[in-house]
Structure 1
Amino acid sequence: MSDDVENNTSYDYSSYYNGVIYDSFSPCSNTELVDFGRVFLPTLYSLVFVLGIIGNGLVVCVLVKHRNQTNLTDICLFNLAVSDLVFVVTLPFYAHYSMVGHWPFGDFMCRFASGSHNTGFFSSIFFMVVMTLDRYLVIMHTKKVAKYRTLRAGFALTAFVWTLSLCVSLPAILFTKVTNESNGLSCNYEPENKAWRLYNIFTMNVLGLVIPLLVMIVCYSRMIPILMNMMSTKKHHVVRLIISIVVAFFLFWAPYNISLFLEFLKSPAISGDCDSEANLKLSITVTETIAYTHCCLNPIIYAFVGQKFMGRVLRMLRKWVPGILLPSAREFSDSSHRKSSFMSRTSVTSNLIM
């Protein structure tokens, strides 16, 4: 009897071939995205690398040359430039990785590049926050904080920020590894469970965008009325610069963080839609590269806008490259700096900050 039942039992597998289940589990082709990345990423990464090295390298060279005049602002600016350099030196590895489609540098360099990439990113963000808070305290509580803005405080802040950045980036070092894929060796972030992916999204969005942006908005919104009441011919220029710092930071980093957050939140239905998945990956690729270019703007925003600092840069360039056509360094001399309330060496007003 049981044999008859077993022989007469039939199983309907038609649902597996009606197109619904098959389509939902069929792999999406990312050939177009890979081809786009092979051209777009190496080009943009190389451009960001060159501009980042030149701009931040000049900042480091100028501050090292004038290290005998170092103060707290210079220490923060120096570390901001070093953070951006640590960040951009990893880009040639990722540019080559995007171009050839596999990771040829081994497991150690995979972890090292990932760790440097993340440490440079977070330390750059954290030093911008420190500089914002420093400006705020100097403008709002000038007399109270003057005695605390010492070199010792600067070195202590430096050690704290770099240690914090390294600790935040530690999972990227531990869980990034070389894996053997169908198209060759890949260097990917492969955490043990979903909790570490949630940690990665949390640090990128909260520590890398939300908190720094809130600090900038709160501090600068309280500083602007004070600056507007100052008797200065360039107070509007300073206010515009402050606004540009916040707007640039938001415009360059917010799209990338939003794209990462959407990728983390995507549902199975969305992930099964090849068009949506391709568009999301494309948006991450494009917004990531745009965000990386922000490190090229840091020297312009935080250093080169100052007359005194710009004068030092011009004098150094004239010494290194004789005959180069540059504006006269006298236009950016130290004496002219005293006549300006514009930000010098990342300070909002030289008389208050320096």
Structure 2
Amino acid sequence: MSATTFMSGDEENTTLWYDYSYNELIKNFAPCDHDNVRDFGKVFLPTIYILVFILGFIGNGLVVCVLVKHRHQTNLTDICLFNLALSDLLFVFTLPFYAHNSVVGGWNFGDFMCRLASGSHNVGFFCSIFFMVVMTMDRYMVIIHTYKSARFRTLRAGLAVSVVVWMLSLGVSLPVFIFTQVKNESQGFSCDYNPENKALKHYNLFTANILGLVIPMLVMVVCYSRIIPVLMNIKSTKKHRVLKLIISIVAIFFLFWAPYNITLFLMFLKSEGKLNGDVCSLETHLKLSVTVTETFAYIHCCLNPIIYAFVGQKFMKRVWQFLRECVPWIPLSSTWNTSDSSFRKSSAVSGSSEVASTFVK
């Protein structure tokens, strides 16, 4: 799952998202004039990449710093949040390379960085998605099977799950590390995922759609559809806030990722000759669509700290305390004056409060 490069001449808009070579998809497309799309991308892509990099680095970096500072109070949820933030950081760290690539129209960082950036991009993406799935399943177990889950929600279990998720993400991304390489084209160097095996050429497209969208969406819908009725029956002032949060998590995930996955699938169908119509018009619209939806999907990694971490009162209190230590002149709002111990006491008044606090800690 890499980004988008723009080549001049016959090498048109070459998208490497999910490390599925867009160059392979458009081999059979008729030669059309896409200068407008290419010129738009040269301005639009670097702007969004750098913006996402800055916001993603600040938000996820803040989550990591706060959790490291309070590592002695870590629980399973904090471990998942920490790894989710690390995954998104790994993801956004590759964006400056692709921003430069989009501006100059070629890859200037060598073969090693080509493989490393593409592979890291892919690992960061899958790891982020998998930890969102783990957090969803954890919430489901805590709320639906409260007593059974207590014995399994240990620090050791959290570390074991983290190792498994990172190894699984690395395994899924292994073909990207192996088959991505720098190629010397007529117009310059390009960084492409280009295996000789046809099945592997389609591998990243389908793993991204199945593992990156379909399965996570199914898990979220199934788990949260069971959680919502339980929330509606509890007596807690937080339940409506939690309900809004659940709807936001599912809706944001779908709205940010589905358009791009759908566009990629349409591009695949076009390359296989399954879509009919005006070839040049269809090709232009698909290229413009992939440029816009790709960058739109990237923004999701900037929202993860907000919908998974900053939404919690306890976490925000820690954030303000951390910022005040780093920047002493920042005033600490009276909203966050409650101590951790008193917050835990107020959150543990009843089972209902504990259920709600699973989401907004």
TM-score range (shorter-chain normalised) is 0.7 to 0.9
Counterpart in the other structure of 2:224: 220
- With normalisation by structure 2, the TM-score equals 0.86
Distance 1:240 1:26, change over 3 A: closer
The SS at the match of 2:151 is helix
Are the aligned partners of 2:139 and 2:358 in contact in 1 as well (CA < 8 Å)?
no
Counterpart in the other structure of 2:130: 126
- With normalisation by structure 1, the TM-score equals 0.87
Q: Distance in 2 between matches of 1:90 and 1:25?
A: 29
Q: Distance in 1 between matches of 2:311 and 2:104?
A: 39
Aligned residues: 326
In the TM superposition, residue 28 of structure 1 has moved relative to its aligned partner by: 2.0
The Cα offsets for residues 12-41 of structure 1, whole Å up to 9 and x where unpaired, read as xxxxxxxxxxxx975223322221111000
Counterpart in the other structure of 1:63: 67
Distance 1:37 1:353, change over 3 A: closer
Counterpart in the other structure of 2:186: 182
Counterpart in the other structure of 2:357: 350
Are the aligned partners of 1:238 and 1:348 in contact in 2 as well (CA < 8 Å)?
no
The SS at the match of 1:349 is helix
In the TM superposition, residue 275 of structure 1 has moved relative to its aligned partner by: 1.7
Structure of larger gyration radius: 1
In the TM superposition, residue 198 of structure 1 has moved relative to its aligned partner by: 2.1
Counterpart in the other structure of 2:296: 290
Q: Does 1:167 align with 2:171?
A: yes
Q: Distance in 2 between matches of 1:310 and 1:330?
A: 8
Unaligned runs of 5+ in 2: 1-27, 349-353
Match of residue 275, structure 1, among 258, 281, 292: 281
Q: Distance in 1 between matches of 2:309 and 2:360?
A: 14
Match of residue 299, structure 1, among 296, 299, 305: 305
Give the letter aligned to residue 127 of structure 2. Answer: S
Which of the pair has the greater relative contact order for Cα pairs under 8 Å at 6+ separation? 2
Counterpart in the other structure of 1:202: 206
In the TM superposition, residue 189 of structure 1 has moved relative to its aligned partner by: 1.4
Q: Distance in 2 between matches of 1:272 and 1:180?
A: 32
The Cα offsets for residues 127-171 of structure 1, whole Å up to 9 and x where unpaired, read as 000000000001011111101111111111011000000010111
Greater CA deviation, 300-309 or 27-36? 27-36
Are the aligned partners of 1:142 and 1:352 in contact in 2 as well (CA < 8 Å)?
no
Counterpart in the other structure of 1:103: 107
Greater CA deviation, 48-57 or 325-334? 325-334
- CA RMSD for the aligned pairs? 2.1
Q: Distance in 2 between matches of 1:103 and 1:52?
A: 24
In the TM superposition, residue 352 of structure 1 has moved relative to its aligned partner by: 9.6
Distance 1:170 1:274, change over 3 A: same
Q: Distance in 2 between matches of 1:332 and 1:244?
A: 27
Q: Distance in 1 between matches of 2:171 and 2:142?
A: 29
* Identity value in percent: 68
Counterpart in the other structure of 2:56: 52
The SS at the match of 2:156 is helix
4+ residue stretches of structure 1 with deviation over 6 A? 351-354
Are the aligned partners of 2:83 and 2:131 in contact in 1 as well (CA < 8 Å)?
yes
Are the aligned partners of 1:139 and 1:352 in contact in 2 as well (CA < 8 Å)?
no
The Cα offsets for residues 233-276 of structure 1, whole Å up to 9 and x where unpaired, read as 12111011011000000000000100111111114475981221
The SS at the match of 2:191 is strand
Are the aligned partners of 1:271 and 1:277 in contact in 2 as well (CA < 8 Å)?
no
Counterpart in the other structure of 1:319: 325
Unaligned runs of 5+ in 1: 1-23, 342-346
Distance 1:351 1:157, change over 3 A: closer
Q: Distance in 1 between matches of 2:358 and 2:83?
A: 23
Q: Distance in 2 between matches of 1:51 and 1:215?
A: 28
Match of residue 251, structure 1, among 248, 255, 260: 255
Counterpart in the other structure of 1:72: 76
The SS at the match of 1:188 is strand
Q: Distance in 1 between matches of 2:359 and 2:58?
A: 30
In the TM superposition, residue 332 of structure 1 has moved relative to its aligned partner by: 6.0
In the TM superposition, residue 172 of structure 1 has moved relative to its aligned partner by: 1.2
Q: Distance in 2 between matches of 1:332 and 1:75?
A: 24
Counterpart in the other structure of 1:14: none
Distance 1:297 1:134, change over 3 A: same
